Chains A and B, each alone.
Chain A
Amino acid sequence: MAFEIAMPQLGLTMEAGTVLHWLKRVGDTVRKEEPLLEIETDKTAVEVTSDTEGVLLAIVVPEGKAVPVGTVLGWIGQAGEAAPRVPAAAAGVATPRPSAPPPVSAAAEPAAPSGPTGPVRATPAARARARAAGVSLAAVRGTGPEGRVQARDVEGVRARPSPAGAYRDLPVAGARKVIAERLSQSFHGSVPVLLTAEAVVDRAHDLVGQMESDFRAKTGGKIGYLPLIVKAAALALRAHSRLNAHWMGHAIRLFEEIDIGIAVSLDGGLVVPVLRRADRLSLAEIATGVATLADKARTGTLTPAEMEGGTFTVSNLGGHHIGFFMPVINPPQVAILGVGRAAPRPMFRDGQVQALRALPLSLVFDHRAVDGEPAAAFLDAVKAALEAPYRLLL
């Protein structure tokens, strides 16, 4: 009896996924819970593990192909067993998911009918040239019929000049590919407008200093400006709900709950885990929540659920010597707050030039969804809360 490997649904909004890499080849032995393949959704790339043990009988959906949730990707069974044949029409609905929306036609191509697929489709001439040149065929994009790699494709790779002599190519795949696609979609598909403001944060600075030792004693962690900024933004979003929204194309969806995405930088790229109900959390809860999510991000243990559903994002570059900057909106959200480094600056207060601690705030909003005045009012509210931080404790 053969068991199907189906495209999993990793989140409520996931409609289709792309097979990135098969980690097993046809004929390989598979243990239960062993990684089988890597898939990519519009949010992330994850490994799919085996629900059963046996032998990988067939790969139905080859690498690089996007298919709807539930599509049979391959079969696991006993050695020597024949893989069931899946008719192309049935492949997309082999495992019905009643809650899943109908597949999006753009992302979803029908799965290949059946049968194992070889590793890379390439002509003998392309293989011989790749061997001679030490080029990996997997890294060559085939331009022949059915994506077959031909000699000219290998020549293309070899002919590319190497200006500085040695260089290395980082593959645009997995998380990097997701980031590239989503950010260019955001940047080219929205109307981003930047507003900046400086919050005077001497009092917030004092507050952080006062909380520091208590917080460390209680949690062992560190508290900085970020929990104050997240809380200030969350409270401001309550009053300015037009920014706590998703651009749906046909509608602007305003959310009751305030779920704030926190941009976390990793070696492999950027992830944005979501802190739920941030407006209702204490500063300490925000600090530990952000620390937990950041740890999970660094160890690669974030679940897709922890990365979806954000209604607004905070991007903090305050760890570097950065002032104002222009973050890119995380779609389908309509705004993002960029946080620079707080530093003492000469400012006027009571007719005197004083050294005051200024925190650069950069708000980028999508002018399709929000006009300049409400966006400015929101940024004002954030600034006001940070300058009177007792409000964050109420």
Chain B
Amino acid sequence: MRELTTSQAINEALAEELERDPRVFLIGEDIGLHGGAFAVTKGLFQRFGPKRIRNTPISEAVIVGAAVGAALVGTRPVAELMYLDFVTLAMDQIVNQGAKVKYMFGGKARVPAVVRMPFGAGRANAAQHSQSLEAWLCHVPGLKVVMPSTPADAKGLLKSAIRDDNLVLVLENKHLYFQKGPVPDGEHLVPLGAADVKRPGKDATVVATGRLLSAALSAAETLSKDGIDVEVLDPRTLYPLDAQAIIASVKKTGRLVTVHEAVKRFGFGAEVAAIVAESEAFDYLDAPIQRVAGAEVPVPFSKSLEDLFLPDEAKIVAACRRTLA
């Protein structure tokens, strides 16, 4: 299978959807001739022109507000915020407008829009350009939240998000943009709300998201040398979450480790742990659940401190060993 970077895979998804559906258009900062901060929209301005690839002033409220408004009147906008950190400036447009309209109008109005947001630490971008804020967004009814971990999933999930009739927030880890992976030729759709077992195993379930999926797979390889067989599950969509896949996996392994880059408290891992504890998988748990997550501080600028902040393969291995003690 051919190999693409995540950036190329997303570019391909955008081009295919722009080609397929004339209602689709892109809106964001520097996405035109510049091709976006992470080269995701490279070449699209030249191909689809300024009406469908729209540059905006530096205002996240404008970008998301315009996208929500345009979606309400029949288009399918795909907005880009340069960093997830800046979603704070667009929270009213997302939380109070985009997430609520369909409910408050009894389903007569819809917001078929996508907001793509690069996130994550590990690039010495400091505290205001490194956060993982997915838990905020998952908490709001009316939103769907997607977090791909491979180029193929990034493409397939984005295409499904563009075709979905709800406001879908796509969180893309910055490190993954330039990592290559196999992407199928032709039409490739990944349904929203479907988890993927990236590595089957029987001894412990590791639920890992974003960039840490590959760290979890490396950890599983390391542990396999000691005869420990770890199952690595990628939820891919954080909401609606494929709870049944996680429950089925924990029923098989009896042990759960959650892994994300966001800080631990009130995080996605806590939600996964609670879902398992509430489910029929409870009676299969044979060890306390372990959560691997970012340190509970603003992400440090210093590279050495940032490395301490970040979860990594060693921390995942250690958590797996604790749960298997």
Contacts and interface: CB of A to CB of B under 8 A. Distances in A.
Interface of A: 123-128, 144-145, 150-152
Given A123-B286, A124-B282, A150-B286, 13 more contacts: A123-B285, A124-B284, A124-B286, A125-B284, A125-B286, A128-B283, A128-B284, A144-B287, A145-B322, A145-B325, A150-B287, A151-B254, A151-B286
Nearest to B254: A125
Task: Give the contact-size bracket for chain B.
Answer: under 10
Contacts, number: 26
A125 B325 contact: no
Nearest to B284: A125
Interface in B271-303: 282-287
Interface of B: 254, 282-287, 322, 325
Secondary structure dominating the interface of A: helix
B50 to A, nearest CB: 59
A126 B325 contact: no
A124 B283 contact: yes
Nearest to B281: A124
Contacts of A127: 283
A377 B150 CA distance: 91
A149 B36 CA distance: 55
A124 B285 CA distance: 6
A144 B284 contact: no
A127 B284 CA distance: 9
Nearest to A143: B325
A90 to B, nearest CB: 30
A127 B286 CA distance: 9
B247 to A, nearest CB: 13
Contacts of A128: 283-284
Contacts of B285: 123-125
Contacts of A125: 254, 283-286
A127 B285 CA distance: 10
A128 B285 CA distance: 10
A126 B284 CA distance: 8
A152 B287 CA distance: 11
Nearest to B285: A124
A145 B287 CA distance: 9
B263 to A, nearest CB: 25
11 contacts: A123-B285, A124-B282, A124-B285, A124-B286, A125-B254, A125-B286, A127-B283, A128-B283, A128-B284, A145-B322, A151-B286
Contacts of B287: 123, 144, 150
A124 to B, nearest CB: 5
Nearest to A149: B286
A326 to B, nearest CB: 46
Contacts of A151: 254, 286
Contacts of A145: 322, 325
